[in-house]
A and B are shown apart, each in its own frame.
Chain A
Amino acid sequence: MSGHAPTRRAPLLTIYSALVFIFIYLPVVVLILYSFNRDGVGGFPPRHLTLDWYRQLVADAPIWDAVVNSLIVASCSVALSLTLGLLAALALDRANFPGKALFRRLVLLPLILPGIITGLSLLMFVVFAGAQLSLLTVFLGHGTALISVATTELFAGLQKMDRAQEEASLDLGATPWQTFWRVTLPNLKLSLIAAGLLIFTLSMDEIAVTFFLIGRDNTLPLEIWGRLRRGITPEINAVSTLIFAVSVTLIVIWYRVRTRGLGADAQELLEKP
């Protein structure tokens, strides 16, 4: 709100907005609350607070195996999509090649299409290629789909970069290789961190594409999914609460990095691909 126009009072709108906030946060609050409830996920009010479900969770080997699988997939996906996303962003920013417009749209497709379409297409590809479903195929799916996120973030970073620095570096006798490592990449540091965190979070949580590419080893969301079908216990609340805590931490870091480095334009590019 600009300084010279005082905020008008609108009590009804304020109450309505408060209700929308309650709607947005209610499920999360309920989830966390019932992770401490001895008598399970139903009933009201929650009684007999306990940490039993967290103890049970700590001793639950399959969950931790799934956590490790998810961490591996997410880290590898970050590495792959950042590398290819960086190259794609450089290509879109600096090179002209036949099919550039098509390429730009194609890269972004997994971001706009329903997950099931990307997931099934990759499943057909894996079967077509005669490969087995495993964590490797999950990684292939995440890494490829998330190039879209990396490209958008890094392209925005490149657009904001001062081209003169690179020119100066080349004029002063640095090779293109040196210029890339010493000028281009350091300038993109914030975009790289922001994109990396975002890709990591999205990969840790991905389910629609993973659903079709999963082999014998589960990722964490798929492990939880499997358990939901068998019946629900507050142990799932407990693990969800922990996931929530980790995502919020990552989001806060991501948000700090991004507001400091990129500002609102990049955000818009991401939201409206």
Chain B
Amino acid sequence: MYSRAYKTLVSLPPLLWVGLFLLLPYALMFAHSFWVVHDGVLVHQWNLHNYLTLFSKPVYVEVLLRTMRIAASVTLCSLLLGYPLAYYLSFHAGSRKELLYQLVIVPLWVSYLVRGYAWKTILGSEGILNGFLQYLHLTHGPVAFLLYSPFAVVLMLTHIYTPFVFLPIYAALEHIPRPLVEASHDLGAGSVQTFLRVILPLSIPGLLAGATFAFVLSLGDFLAPLLVGGASGTMIANVVQSLFGAAFDWPLGAAISVCILIITISLLFLSERLEKRWSFK
């Protein structure tokens, strides 16, 4: 029904644009990871030097492992907060469901920076939480370990990704045919048994999608560590950022970025496969 000219006209501009401003930049990143810097000058000499450095120096592996731990904690905490909330909304909220759903969505689009900043003012040694604790006479001096720690990073990222985790889980719970749940009750299963044997298995695809989202997005975050993490909360993306800044070693930074990219894409791929296996159609 559409002419060849029409098809060319709609396909060509986005293809060219995306090729030039998306594919080429990503390819450049890839290429840089095989080049090296000699005496402050970039040398276009193909080799595996950066990748060897990456896996031979314990500092990089260490930061990468810490990043994975932080991302895993964020994922776990977001699931522990997001899943029960989604379950409550889907099965127990009654007529307030729609309103509550919108209330979870709103913070999703509220400035990342604004929310990070708010945590900074809450957790600081002269911050609101310390003021509150002293006001209640629970502590006398300021508690300093709250801000500038991996804990603060996990807290801030959990706060940001809980709504992201909530959404796919809620969608999955909403898609569970209610007669299945009723049948389970009618056949004598209690609430806990119904949850474990009917609802939870059917919500696994949503749970996987949410968990992947939280993990992948935390993995590449460099702003939360800068804002509330301090030295002990440094993550892999901060290493990349400093290699591109003060350290001026773009190729090594690019190599780490390529690793982040590979981890991200494999996780997304894996989760997609698992979701398919668990969906009940």
The distance in angstroms between the C-alpha atoms of A160 and B1, with both chains bound, is 18
Residues of A bordering B, CB below 8 Å: 1-2, 5, 7-10, 13-14, 16-17, 20-21, 23-28, 30-31, 34, 41-45, 84-85, 87-88, 90-91, 94-97, 103, 106-107, 109-110, 112-118, 120-125, 128, 140, 144, 147, 163, 166-167, 170, 176, 198, 201-202, 205, 207-208, 211-212, 221, 224-225, 228, 232, 236-237, 240, 243-244, 247-248, 250-251, 255, 264, 268, 271-272
**Which chain B residues border A27 with CB–CB below 8 Å?**
115, 118-119, 122, 159
B3 touching A176 by the CB < 8 A rule?
A: yes
B6 touching A224 by the CB < 8 A rule?
A: no
The distance in angstroms between the C-alpha atoms of A271 and B182, with both chains bound, is 29
Residues of B bordering A, CB below 8 Å: 1-3, 6-8, 10-11, 13-15, 17-18, 21-26, 28-29, 32, 81-82, 84-85, 87-89, 91-94, 97, 100, 102-107, 109-115, 117-122, 124, 126-128, 130-132, 134-135, 159, 162-163, 167-168, 171, 178, 181-182, 191, 209, 216-217, 219-223, 227, 237, 240-241, 244, 250, 253-254, 257, 260-261, 264, 268
B220 touching A17 by the CB < 8 A rule?
A: no
The distance in angstroms between the C-alpha atoms of A258 and B195, with both chains bound, is 32
Q: How far is the CB of A42 from chain B (nearest CB, A)?
A: 4
B121 touching A24 by the CB < 8 A rule?
A: no
| Secondary structure of the A contact surface, majority rule | helix
**Which chain B residues border A170 with CB–CB below 8 Å?**
1
Q: Contacts A1-B94, A116-B257 given; indicate if A24 touches B163 (C-beta within 8 A).
A: yes
The distance in angstroms between the C-alpha atoms of A30 and B216, with both chains bound, is 29
**Which chain B residues border A16 with CB–CB below 8 Å?**
84-85, 88
A1 touching B250 by the CB < 8 A rule?
A: no
A107 touching B257 by the CB < 8 A rule?
A: no
Q: Contacts A115-B220, A124-B29, A244-B111 given; indicate if A147 touches B14 (C-beta within 8 A).
A: yes
Can you identify 26 A-B contacts, CB atoms within 8 angstroms? Answer: A14-B92, A16-B84, A25-B107, A26-B122, A27-B119, A28-B114, A97-B7, A109-B22, A113-B264, A116-B222, A116-B237, A116-B241, A116-B257, A117-B257, A121-B25, A122-B25, A124-B29, A125-B24, A125-B28, A198-B109, A205-B112, A240-B114, A244-B114, A248-B106, A250-B109, A268-B171
